[in-house]
Chains A and B, each alone.
Chain A
Amino acid sequence: MRWSITEDDVRSIAVGAGVLGTGGGGDPYLGELQLIELIRQGRTVEVISVDDLSDDEQGCGVSGMGAPTIGIEKLPAGDEMWQAIKGVQDHLHTRFSFIVVGEVGGGNALEPLIAAAYGGVPVVDADPMGRAFPELQMDTFMIGGVNPSPFAISDAHGNTAVLHVNDANTAERYGRALTIAMGGATSLALPVITGREVKEHGIHGTLSLCHRIGQAVRSTMKEKGDVVAAVSSVVPTQTLFTGKIIDVDRKTTGGFARGYAVLAGIGDFSDSELRIDIQNEYLVAWRDDKPIATVPDLICVLDAESGLPVGTESLRYGLRLHVLGIPASRKLKTPRALSVVGPRAFGYDIDFFPLSGELPEEKIG
């Protein structure tokens, strides 16, 4: 079944993407504005279900790469996301019949939809993260063995580089180096993928899940209701903590904003402290020095007052927050996946322990 995206859907996806961004992935605001403008101009964006794909049709993933702070200065030109896809397409002398979301968390949730508005190709309701991750090999397509080559990186000036690499880690390294050379924010078309591969390795239904979370949060905010309960009505959610930030520390090492925030408990959580470790996204939550949630499970932070998701860059002393845990997709919890996205892959000497529940993979409709 096909889902034609409306202006209201865009607003919901933007809020949902903030929740699934687990603190990173950039602010979806500019993408939201751009997509709404495109829809107002009469362009259409269609989302199809994974079931609608035939095994042998070919599509491509797309996302933005680089620093969100640069993206808010160098605003989008328009079709740069589509230009990257077109770069690979032209290189292969083929035509893709779908676009797949590269990362459903944060600003990257909207980029494939923007590309679709220009390319006239539907977006498939799936992604390889179900959240945000800092590096491109942290992706169920890559983990599942989908070939990252060839991939393309474009800037807004019409420059496109198509690269062939040996593996996803190399793609990440070269991609990031090119992104710096191109001014710090680029579009990345990766991977070229078949319908069968999306079905097998993708996390199904994440775009519509993102939409449902956003819808629930938005309608609850309007009624000044309980946003945590709204999120729980869509995905299995565990309230990890409610508290107030009493300490924040951040520094950059190797391109990552690393650091932590310490929260003092409020209400049911008083006399307790929570530390959330940050590496662009929220990685591990420690309650009174014991880990209570860790990557790849989602640690989502909501402003206790507005209900809106809070990014790592907005953390500050005194902010009152709800910290939620959402179980990651089972495809991120296989031993092979955990070697790439588990706590040890981020340098922690702890093993992954899953939060209860399962990320629903429902179909659109």
Chain B
Amino acid sequence: MRIGIDVGGTNTDAVVMRGKDVVAATKTPTTKDVLSGILQALKDVLTDCNPSEITGVMLGTTHFANALVERRRLAKTAVIRLGFPYGEALPPFVDFPPGLADVIKGPTFLLPGGHEFDGRPITPFDEKKVRAAAREIAAAEIRTAVVSAPFSPVNDEMERQTADILMTECPGIRVTTSAEIGSVGLLERENAAILNACLLPLAEDIVDALRSALDAVGLTCPFYLTQNDGTLMNADYARRFPVLTISSGPTNSMRGASYLSGLKNAVVIDIGGTTADVGVLVNGFPRPASRTTEISGVRTNFRMPDVYCLGLGGGSLVHQSPSGTTTIGPTSVGYRITEQALVFGGDILTMTDIVVAGGFADVGDKERLSLGKEEANRVLAVADRMLEESVDRMKPSREDLPAIVVGGGSIIIRDLLKGISEVVRPSHFSVANAIGAAIAQVGGEIDRIFSLEGVSREAVLQEAKEQAVLRAIEAGADPQTVEIVELQEVPLAYLPSKASRIRVKAIGELKGAAS
């Protein structure tokens, strides 16, 4: 059996799953320290289960996102960037928000080295200069560092050499190399590596704290953190790459919805108290957003799920103007719905009141409502138009798609909407995110520029696929189950030499955790 936990802004959800069945589920309030909420959720779901039967705990957590937002417990980070003279005009941290840079910016160096797009060195690696920089970093008592270099996704040799020197000269230093973390685009990749490095000491503490928390409730199995793309990382990996977990919540929710419904291509509508998040599943995975992603105001090249968020939820305020037009949201009573909504004795007209007045749900005291069915239906029609427009924005094609409807506010959706072929409400939908964590798989991804000079395109694609599969297996996937889930090829423009940027993702089941 597996335990899946997802820490959200409001609730921490946990489930125990045996194969495909949900054995236990719970929702507890998220706590400020996050950890005690996780512990409570674990205790809740373990009341009817034997901890020795649990083979893995899969956890989606907000620890690291919170640390970046609050700018707390972040480490001052040094950066050695290779590629001199390239990049002199745009030094590390150049586009960080000043408040965050103040906290984490350590000494930075721009040294010779790096590679051209075709893999030859820009300038030779200068060991002496790297060593001198490392000594300065040691003297400044900086304990975390980033190494970046042009085209390290093509050849990461010099980044690794630099990291090795840092580790010799600065015993105990933690190093993130840019090639380990991001894809093409040096500044965005370096930024992502800096965000990762500044979280490293915290990551070690949290991984240790999680281990002790699991031990305390009798769980001796391994645990995993879910990543932004919905795949798992083990505890050792989490110590080294905390930034990759930073926004796994929406992914877990959509993956859980896919799993519960058995649908691989669908729209997912997750309606909570304040907002409705609309996403799209393509082959069982959330479609990634095409734009660059900002994390705490820092531009990175992570690929986050493409989610359209509209201000429509169970607690959304309903306003009717004298002229007869109805507006819904974006203001919401939020978690105070149980005091402020009309049906719960409050004096604010919310979407929940409208759903009750329409006769589509029976919560609170219906007698407290003065509006009739007809009026309620008029407001619900407005909500339908809002949802239909969002669905249409997100749908990948003109064909109607099934919609998987999850979340506490999903009572707003009563029936088919335009563009939707079928409304699916899976059981356990309120803990879809924890289920998404529990069923998460293991992935491997590569994003590189490949030269097509003198080799066939097929051979290059084959090589790229093999590398992605290998990475998935290294990350813990069962080789028998690994498959390619995504392949993208973008030729380099404006150059008459043949080269393409190829992105491949492979995914498989976690080895040994099938039961």
Contact = CB atoms under 8 A, between A and B. Distances in A.
Given A69-B184, A246-B398, A252-B498, A280 B493 contact: yes
Interface string B485-507: 00001111111111111000000
Contact of A70 (B89, B187, B452, B492): B492
Nearest to B452: A252
A72 B184 contact: yes
Interface in A304-338: 304-306, 312-314, 316-320
Contact of A69 (B122, B287, B501): B501
Residue from B86, B150, B395, B490 whose CB has the most chain A CB atoms within 10 Å: B86
A159 to B, nearest CB: 11
Contact of A246 (B88, B394, B397): B397
Contact of B185 (A37, A73, A244, A320): A73
Contact of B90 (A30, A65, A244): A30
B496 A184 contact: no
A180 interface: yes
Given A30-B187, A69-B449, A73-B184, A255 B497 contact: yes
A78 B94 CA distance: 14
A97 B267 CA distance: 59
Given A156-B85, A313-B493, A34 B151 contact: no
A305 B494 contact: no
A67 B395 CA distance: 32
Nearest to B83: A74
A68 interface: yes
A254 interface: yes
A75 B398 contact: no
A256 B186 contact: no
Contacts of A246: 397-398
Nearest to A311: B493
Contacts of A24: 493-494
B90 A75 contact: yes
A33 interface: yes
A72 B499 CA distance: 15
A156 B94 CA distance: 19
Interface string B42-70: 00000000000000000000000000000
B259 interface: no
A257 interface: yes
Given A69-B184, A184-B117, A76 B496 contact: no
Residue from B85, B186, B187, B489 whose CB has the most chain A CB atoms within 10 Å: B85
Nearest to B301: A72
Contact of B89 (A34, A183, A305, A316): A34
B88 A77 contact: yes
Interface string A210-252: 0000000000000000000000000000000000101000111
B497 A77 contact: no
A256 B290 contact: no
Nearest to B494: A67
B94 A183 contact: no
Given A30-B90, A250-B490, A318-B396, A74 B496 contact: no
B89 A255 contact: no
Interface in B80-120: 83, 85-90, 94-95, 114, 116-117
B280 interface: yes
A105 interface: no
A67 B495 contact: yes
A184 B501 CA distance: 15
A183 B490 contact: no
Contact of B493 (A69, A183, A266): A69
Interface in B315-374: none
Contact of A157 (B85, B184, B493): B85
Nearest to A315: B290
A264 B116 contact: no
Contacts of B127: none
Contacts of B114: 74
Nearest to B151: A73
Contacts of A134: 494
Contacts of A33: 90, 94-95
Contacts of A69: 117, 184, 449, 492-493, 501
Given A264-B397, A320-B393, A156 B494 contact: no
A176 interface: yes
B157 interface: no
Nearest to B186: A73
A252 B89 contact: no
Given A72-B184, A280-B493, 16 more contacts: A67-B492, A67-B495, A73-B185, A74-B122, A75-B86, A75-B89, A75-B186, A76-B87, A180-B497, A244-B395, A254-B496, A255-B495, A266-B392, A306-B291, A312-B493, A314-B290
26 contacts: A30-B90, A34-B90, A67-B494, A67-B495, A69-B117, A69-B492, A70-B117, A70-B492, A70-B495, A72-B185, A73-B186, A74-B186, A77-B86, A77-B89, A134-B494, A183-B116, A183-B117, A184-B117, A184-B497, A254-B496, A255-B494, A255-B496, A255-B497, A313-B493, A317-B396, A317-B397
Interface of B: 83, 85-90, 94-95, 114, 116-117, 122-123, 150-151, 184-188, 280, 287, 290-291, 392-398, 449, 452, 489-501
